[in-house]
Structure 1
Amino acid sequence: MKKSLGAKVVAMPSPVWIVGTYGDHGRPNIMTVAWGGICCSVPPCIAIAVQQSRLTHSNITKRKAFTVNVPSRHHLAAADYAGIASGKYTDKFAVAGLTPVRSELVDAPYIGEFLLVLECKLLHTVALGGHTQFIGQILDAKADAAVLRDNENPAMASVSPLISSAADRKYYALGECLGQTYHIGLQLVDQEEGKNV
């Protein structure tokens, strides 16, 4: 029997993404977000949710652009720090030892050391209450050649992205690969078709 927990944000897991933006005078900034996900394939879009009080919120609103940088487990301390410190008072790139790279496509920096980066132009803004959802159209995805498979897509195991859990406020690494999407469930399709013969 299930126990009611009330209205809580306990969906699992959440991505750990570092959002790159430019502030006043072109100062690069980064912020960790966990409220985000893919929201459309055509055009390719992702959504992030940011509190209005954050510098990143102001930067995206002004510049109409942001990058999503996917940290690997090797960048855990930098990822956590980017969510602790405020870009209003410190240069988070410098403290974390990361390199801001100017995007040629959008008015936002990306992180040179991260293996996977998405460059996004702001498409829609949705006020939700405590957070604003920014929907960004992905103009380009950049990945280090070392993490690409033969099909020119990044391999999850090579990127080794971080995930988080809102329920216990902890970071996690990915586990084992369990199988191919749109393939494992075919056994149930075959079973159902067998019953209908």
Structure 2
Amino acid sequence: MTPRLVVATGNPHKLDEIARLLGGSIPEIRSGSVELVAMTDLGVPPPVEDGDTFEANALIKARAVAAATGLPALADDSGLEVDALDGAPGVRSARYAGDDASDADNNAALVAALADVPEDERTARFVCVAALVTVDGREVTRRGTMEGRVVDQPRGDQGFGYDPYFVADATDGGRTNGQLAPAEKDTISHRGAAFRALAEDVARLLDPA
């Protein structure tokens, strides 16, 4: 049977993104000799994310999935921190407009909250903390960030979440994350930085020698 790592997500976009990011550094994942599988494909329900930091929530998810499946687990928690909003939405980014909010709901709430804030004061960053938890209790977290600003009109249909409203400092021409091809976004994204940093830990798990 193909060795598996369980990813604490039910989002197919995120599963694909993590597979790309780790596959760039880990041949076993790139070739498919180690499979990444979503927790929902194994019938694991999402745990309650009640931590007050990205690190806490990433570990909550990874611990729950490792315990439920008996397999090593990967998780991440990520969100948008807007300086003019004192760091909000932060750890509540996925639930900014309410517990059952859609991406459209959250984006509308963000635009409304920033309605009176000049564009040059809309500095923000995406933050991602990636976690690895093994069945014998080893835990590691790695953090990545992407600095930029929030715009008031969406551009592009790539990505998900707040991507159409976020312009990263590392891009040219004022393109939003929603206008970046996946491979281009991977090179500068918060999730890319976090999972590239975690790749060494995952590789060590797969080949402890």
TM-score between the two structures when normalised by the length of structure 2: 0.26
TM-score between the two structures when normalised by the length of structure 1: 0.27
Which structure has more relative contact order (CA 8 Å, sep 6+)? It is 1
Higher strand fraction (1 or 2): 1
Quick check: which has more Rg, 1 or 2?
Answer: 1
